Chains A and B, each alone.
Chain A
Amino acid sequence: MTIALEQVFAEALGIDIGGVSDGLAYNSIPQWDSVAHMGLIAQLEDHYGVLLDTDDIIDMSSVGKAREILAKYGASL
């Protein structure tokens, strides 16, 4: 079963899925801080079966950017 990227973000950040859009960025909401980012990365890797490079972990600063990076790994979004 493919889980929508928005759902993974909502669960990892503990926010309503309605608040997740491609424009949602790191530090734009209190829930998305450094610790939440590490949890988010772990959940994305689990859900999509990928192992992200450090540069991609660092660059994943918005939902839109995450979509772009995960597509590079062949993830089914």
Chain B
Amino acid sequence: MQMVSQTRISPRQQRQWFTVTRERREQQHWVLWCKGVRTGYVNLKGEYQGELQGQAIADAGLYLGNSTVRHPMLAVAAALSQLDQGFDRLNIGCIRTLVRENNSSALRLNEQLGYRLIGQECGFFALELLPADYYAARERLRRFFR
């Protein structure tokens, strides 16, 4: 998965981002751990200020680093965890995401997760996922986690 912004972030900018972000109730951010190693990051951001819980629409971000524990099912596991949180626990009505047009792996994975294409702009595809589509897709994907 690729960050939307590809610009370099300084340590100071990162600390500022962290300070601001942890105060925002319409966003939730999670670090992905695998075998004791931090290997990625996911977030959900509601479209309105206020609690993320129950929002009609949220944007999803998912990023994996090149860690020593990265494996072929990591992106799938990360996405399922993120979407379970979004739909099962936070009762979000619809989850949207942006994927670079040239990121074919992310597009293929999102399609498997039930996302549908809703637009295309500035080198990105806009995708949308509804709970019913996710739950149908989840049943197919969960067979690989026994």
Contact = CB atoms under 8 A, between A and B. Distances in A.
B72 A37 contact: yes
B91 interface: no
Contacts, number: 46
B72 A58 contact: yes
A33 interface: yes
A58 B108 contact: no
Interface string A24-45: 0011001011110110010000
Interface in A59-77: 59-61
Interface residues of A, number: 18
Interface string B68-97: 001111111000000000000000000000
A30 B105 CA distance: 8
B77 to A, nearest CB: 9
B146 A33 contact: no
Contacts of A53: 146
Interface of B: 70-76, 104-105, 108-109, 112, 141, 144-146
